Amino acid sequence: MRNFEFGKRVLDLSETQVMGILNVTPDSFSDGGSLYANSKVDLDTVIAKAEMMVADGASIIDVGGESTRPGAKAVSLGEEIDRVLPVVERIGREIDVVVSVDTSSPEVMVEAGKLGAGLINDVRALGREGAIEAVIETGLPACLMHMQGSPASMQENPEYDDVLDEVTSFFKHRIAQCEAAGINKNRLILDPGFGFGKTVGHNLRLMNNLRPLAVSGLPLLIGTSRKSMIGTVLGRSVDQRLAGSLATVALSVMQGASIMRVHDVKETVDVVRMTQAVMMETIENNEGG
C-alpha cells in the first residue's frame, strides 16, 4: 500500500491510477472545443464526460482551462477562472472522484482548492510568482512538470547534453526549493513532460528510463496520450494514435508509473489492469482462464 492524500480523498499509488483529461479550452491539440457550445463551456456536457470517464475507471479528472500545446497562446486569468472554477465546483459536488486542476495561476490554485480540488497539476512546476505559496495555502499536493522553454516556443529547437540527466537535475532542484519554502516533498508528484521542449529522440529516451526520474522515490505522472511523438514514430494523425498511446501506457506501468494522464480512459484502464496482472502473475476472478 502507498496511500496518497488528495485533499479529502486517498488513492493507493502502489497501483497505477488513471487520470482522465478534461480540457475546457477551445484550442487543445486533441480535443479542443469539444466541450463548448456557443463559445462557452457547456457544463452539462462537461459533467457527462466526467461521469463517463469515472464509469470507465478514472480515479482522477484533470481540469484545464489553458491550452499548453506547442505554439499555444496564453489566456487571461479571468478567462481561465471562468472556464475552470465552475467545472471544479460542479464535479466536486456531483461526482466521487479526485479533481486535479491543470494550472500555473496561483489565484486559480487557491480558489480551486476552496471548491474541493485534490491536486494542483502545474506544467510550470510552481515557477510563477506566488505559486508555491498558493499550494501551501491550499494544503494540496502538487505535480511538478519539466518543460524546456514555454508553450509558445518550446518545440522550436529543444537541445540537451543529456535529457535524462537534465530532467533529473531539474526535479532535484525544484524539490529542494519546494521543501525550503515549506512543502513536504512527500506531497509532490513528478511529470517528465513528454513533448514539452523535447524532440522525439528525447521523449523516447525518457520513456525508456522512467525509473531514474522518480527522484526521492516520488510518484511519477506520465502524459503521452495522442502526442506528436506517437504520430511521428507511427505516421498517425491525432485521431489514430490510440494503439501507440496504449503501448506507452504498458511501458510506463512496467516501470512503476503511478498515474497515467490520458484521453482514452476505458482502453487505458484495461491496459493498466492487464499489465499489472502480468507483473503480479495473477489473474483476478478468472482462475484457469
**What is the per-residue pLDDT across 244-265, written as a single tens digit (0 to 9) for each?**
999 999 999 999 999 999 999 9
Is the pLDDT confidence value at 33 over 60? no
Secondary structure (3-state) at 182: coil
CATH superfamily of 3-280: Dihydropteroate synthase-like (3.20.20.20)
Question: Residue 28 class from Cβ within 10 Å (0-12 exposed, 13-18 middle, 19+ buried)?
Answer: buried
Share above pLDDT 90 across residues of the chain, in percent, rounded to a whole number? 80
Give the chain's largest Cα–Cα span: 57
Q: Identify the CA nearest to 91 among candidates 82, 81, 101.
A: 101
Share above pLDDT 70 across residues of the chain, in percent, rounded to a whole number? 87
To the nearest whole number, what is the mean pLDDT of the chain? 91
Q: Identify the CA nearest to 143 among candidates 10, 277, 268, 258.
A: 258
- Confidence at residue 68, expressed as pLDDT on a 0 to 100 scale: 75
Q: What is the pTM of this model?
A: 0.90
Measure the CA–CA gap between 57 and 160, rounded to whole angstroms: 37
Measure the CA–CA gap between 13 and 17, rounded to whole angstroms: 7
Query: Is there a catalytic annotation at residue 185?
Result: no
Mean pLDDT of 131-151: 93
Cα–Cα–Cα angle for 165, 167, 169, nearest 5°? 65
Measure the CA–CA gap between 163 and 175, rounded to whole angstroms: 18
Mean pLDDT of 90-95: 96
Q: Pick the catalytic residue: 198, 261, 266, 273? A: 261
**What is the per-residue pLDDT across 214-225, written as a single tens digit (0 to 9) for each?**
999 999 999 999
Q: Pick the catalytic residue: 49, 69, 198, 227? A: 227
Q: Identify the CA nearest to 244 among candidates 227, 269, 266, 220.
A: 227
- Using alpha carbons, list the distances in angstroms from residue 202 to 26, 29, 160, 163, 211: 29, 20, 8, 6, 16
How many CB atoms lie under 10 A from the CB of residue 77?
Answer: 14
Question: Residue 83 class from Cβ within 10 Å (0-12 exposed, 13-18 middle, 19+ buried)?
Answer: buried
- Res. 38 pLDDT band, cuts 50 70 90: very low
Q: What is the dihedral of CA 166, 203, 145, 162, to 10 degrees?
A: 0
Query: Is there a catalytic annotation at residue 227?
Result: yes
Measure the CA–CA gap between 168 and 214, rounded to whole angstroms: 8
Mean pLDDT of 111-134: 97
